[in-house]
Structure 1
Amino acid sequence: MANLNLVQLVSVALVLTASTSGTASATAVKGIYWMDQPLFPASTINTSLFTHVYYAFLAPNATTFKLYVSNSSNITLTNFITAFRTRIPTILSIGGSNATSFSLIFSNNTTRATFINSTISVARAYGFDGVDLDWEFPQNSDDTNNLGSLFQEWRIAITADAALTRKPPLLLTAAVYFAVDFFLSDNPRTYPVTSINQNVDWVNVMSYNFHGSWNNDTGAPSGLFNPTRNISVVDGLKSWIGAGVKPEKLVMGMPLYGMTWQLEDPKVNGIGAAVMGPGPGSNGAMAYFKVLEFNMQKNAKVVYDVDTMSVYSYSGSYWIGYDDPLTVTAKVGYAQALSLGGYFFWAAGYDTNNWKISTQASKAWIVS
């Protein structure tokens, strides 16, 4: 693997960004997801850096198929909306990695209607500007076909609600896999491209978690490129566009965290090095501000890798792959080169106190 020094990486980032001059729109999506956490209340989000804030998550009741709002969630939702009302559009995200009942709920139009009506009702009751579906992930072709029907029926219901309430229609977005098809699975299926183009305002492409503690070697968790396999930000986004999804409907995801490993041999410490398991952090994951603390406290070696357009650091047997402001600049430049609709981050609270990565991403998006 070729290593990139700081000057070289800046040059590449500037070339990617400069190549898009005059093509970007002031209406680009700059989103961020927020999860309820006592150490980082929603009110501390710097809204000048974003265009939309997502509340993550509510989930449907497995029996009634309606969104379930507990007493504690009611308080959190109320505080969330209060923090942003009149300041920035808010979107209610439904699902998450632990949601398990979507396949059943979306399997017929009756249960889909129950689910859809409850999402609109809850969104309107709390004052959200949109709804977002985070289904991780449809498991077969029946699921993806039903998802297409869901989007169509959801759009019809949102349009009817807007006419009835005389309010702007709710935004409809969805978080989706990094690629349009699940080519890494033994059970092939493809997202409903036509329905997405016709009914969804945009999809948030989860262009991350390519490599993690489940692997037996180090790797770029969200590499812009991959010289050995078609598992990268570029490959995923191109698959969506190649399948016919309008580029402006695609919003590129970026992680505000790194993945960590413990090396088998500290002397073998590049990308692809053998590992014994996850390293420091929470189950092999570490917030960006914690990565910087690790690098400083451990006097870690920081390396920029040209082949993946990613950064990693290591100290002793510990190794961390992550993004920083420079690699994010390159990604934003590439997103603009593809005429994408914008970008989003997972998740609020993982950046530094002064929003180092988020600030650079916002500055890097060139407005025509």
Structure 2
Amino acid sequence: MALKTISLFTSILLFLLQVCLSDDEKKVVKSSYWFFDSAYPLSDIDFTFYTHLLCAQAFVDPNTFQLNISNSKTAQFSVFTQTLQQKNPSLKTLLSITGGIADDSALSSMARNASTRKTFIDSSITIGRPYNFHGLVLDWEFSSTTTDMTNLGLLFKEWREAVEKESKNSNKPQLLLTVAVYFSSVFRSLSYPAEAMENNLDWIKVMAFDFGAPTWKPNLTEAPAALYNPFSEVSGDSGISSWIRAGFPARKIVFGLPYYGYAWKLKDTNNHGFLAPANGADITADGALGYTHIRNRTIGQGSAITAFNYTFATDYCYNGTTWVGYDDVKSILAKVLYAKGKGLLGYFAWRVDLDDNWTLSKTV
């Protein structure tokens, strides 16, 4: 009788453990962007690797401050969620919103007063809900004034209030709210409104990449997405630590992973590590290369040498004068383990079409 009781008790414990583990797994965000301009078919995405997919991009009209989706994108955006959920019904989708390519002035103007914020907020819900998106993500990485930071906090508070009200009226789950932010909680000596962000956002997406590129650092090879950096405060670890010190909870941070890298032209083929002398960008105008290009063309040429740098926890390769800093399997794995160790919510990748046969997605 005692043995049966122990056996039953053990079975119950194992069952509860499985339930708990399943619940924890469901809380993890595994996400990537789909970029309309890439012309990558939605049907080609392997949906088994993701919990969330982000549809890029809708723009804030600089004159009306309403959310705008161009006519060329309307057809695919309107069926984005429906198409993805046919293969993975549990997949969540978010609409990515920006003020313009490399231009946040429309967002700054929109957030300046309550009436224009309301115009934007109302239009985001009016578009997001009928298109069946589960959430909205604001890509405003460079709030460059104290006023911007203050207005950002007000925007999130009013946005949360609006989606709560809409949810009650529609009897549907609240739209998720998130934002893409600078890798650090401080941008140009200005602090993000961490408390308002914690109170009103479901999570934040920390852009832990683009730390170095030949367009703005042409003379030395760099680690574009270093997890660690003993020479400066510019690294993924430094940024995450900054957000946590600011009081933002680790459980609401999603870590950014780049599925691309940057190529420099070496000055001396015998000097080919990090911080080696370089002559600007190689291969493309800005040096940017997707992971699939790096694997199949740069490395695939046969004579390229690949290496993993343990100091920066990132990869690089070189072939003649071509030198590429990027994330490969080892650095992606190091970042995933780092995120788990820090108790982060998950990861997001830019972007789904740049992976090579799902190599990096499988690693995550």
Question: 1:250-284 deviations in whole A, cap 9, x for unaligned?
Answer: 00000000111001111211100111111124521
Task: Tell me which residue corresponds to 2:53.
Answer: 53
For 2:10, the equivalent position in structure 1 comes to none
Structure 2 distance, partners of 1:140, 1:299, is: 48
Q: Percent identity?
A: 37
Equivalent-residue separation in structure 2 for 1:224 and 1:60 (angstroms): 33
Superposed displacement of residue 78, structure 1: 2.1
State the distance in 2 between where 1:160 and 1:208 align: 36
Q: What is residue 82 of structure 1 aligned with on the other side?
A: 82
Q: Which moved more, 1:60-69 or 1:225-234?
A: 60-69
Q: Summarize deviations over 1:196-236 as a string: whole Å, max 9, x none.
A: 11000000000000111111210111111101111111000
What's the offset of the Cα at 1:45? Answer: 1.4
Aligned to 2:16: none
Report SS of the residue matched to 1:150.
helix
Alignment of 1:217 onto 2:216 = no
Task: Provide the C-alpha distance between the structure 1 equivalents of 2:225 and 2:190, rounded to a whole number of angstroms.
Answer: 23
- Structure 2 counterpart of 1:244, one-letter code: G
Is the CA contact 1:180–1:240 (under 8 Å) kept in the aligned structure 2? yes
Gaps of 5+ in 2: 1-20
What amino acid is the match of 2:61? N
Structure 1 stretches lacking a partner, 5+ long: 1-21, 362-368
Find the aligned partners of 1:194 and 1:246 in 2 and give their Cα distance. 10
Corresponding residue for residue 29 of structure 2: 29
Counterpart of 1:299 in 2: which secondary structure? Answer: coil
Greater radius of gyration (CA): 2
Q: Which residue of 1 aligns with 2:14?
A: none
For residues 219 and 195 of structure 1, what CA distance do their matches in structure 2 show?
Answer: 34
CA displacement 1:313-368 (0-9 Å, x = unmatched): 0011110001111111111111111100111100110001x20001111xxxxxxx
- With over 3 angstroms needed to count, the CA separation of the structure-2 counterparts of 1:302 and 1:175, relative to structure 1, is same
Question: Do 1:47 and 1:87's aligned partners in 2 also have CA atoms closer than 8 Å?
Answer: no
Alignment partner, residue 284 of structure 1: 287
User: Aligned residue for 2:343?
Assistant: 339
* Partner in structure 2 of residue 127 of structure 1: 132
Q: For residue 178 of structure 2, what is the aligned residue in structure 1?
A: 173
SS at match of 1:198: helix
CA distance in 1 between partners of 2:154 and 2:45 (Å): 35
Q: Normalising by the residue count of structure 1, what TM-score does the alignment of the two structures yield?
A: 0.88
Contact 1:223–1:232 (8 Å) recurs in 2: yes
Is the 1:36–1:56 contact (alpha carbons within 8 Å) kept by the matching residues of 2?
A: yes
CA-CA distance at 1:39 after TM superposition = 4.3
Q: Which is worse superposed, 197-206 or 28-37?
A: 28-37
Q: CA deviation at 1:82?
A: 3.0
Report the RMSD for the aligned CA atoms in angstroms. Answer: 1.6
The residue type equivalent to 1:286 in the other structure is L
Q: Secondary structure at the match of 1:101?
A: helix
Cα pair 1:97 1:135 within 8 Å, conserved:
no
Q: Distance in 1 between matches of 2:285 and 2:43?
A: 25
Cα deviation for residue 81 of structure 1 reads: 2.7
Q: Which residue number corresponds to residue 15 of structure 2? A: none
Q: CA deviation at 1:129?
A: 0.3
Q: Secondary structure at the match of 1:125?
A: coil
Aligned mates of 2:117, 2:71 — CA distance in 1: 25
2-side partners of 1:296 and 1:146: how far apart? 48
8 Å CA contact 2:31, 2:53 repeated in 1 = yes
2:79 and 2:131 in contact (8 A); partners too: no
Aligned position for 2:358: 355
* Structure-2 change in CA distance of 1:167 and 1:345 (3 Å): same
Deviations 1:128-158 (A, max 9, x none): 0000000131011110110000000000000
CA contact (8 A) 2:33 2:352 kept: yes
* CA distance in structure 1 between the aligned counterparts of 2:141 and 2:176, rounded to whole angstroms: 20
Indicate the SS of the match to 2:55. Answer: strand
Any residues of structure 2 matched to 1:249-260 within 5 Å, and which?
249-260=252-263
Q: Matched residues in 1 for 2:52 and 2:240: separation?
A: 21
Give how far 1:83 is off: 1.5
CA distance in 2, matches of 1:38, 1:105: 28
The size of the alignment, in residue pairs, is: 335
Q: Which residue of 2 aligns with 1:71?
A: 71
In the TM superposition, 1:157-306 aligns within 5 A as 157-182=162-187, 185=188, 188-213=189-214, 214-215=216-217, 216-281=219-284, 283-293=286-296, 294-306=298-310
Taking structure 2 as the reference length, the TM-score comes to: 0.89
C-alpha displacement of 1:41:
1.3
Write the letter of the residue equivalent to 2:144. Answer: Q
- Give the SS at the match of 2:78: helix
Q: Secondary structure at the match of 1:203?
A: strand
In 2, Cα distance between the equivalents of 1:106 and 1:37?
27
Is 1:148 the counterpart of 2:148 in the alignment? no
Amino acid in the other structure paired with 2:51: T
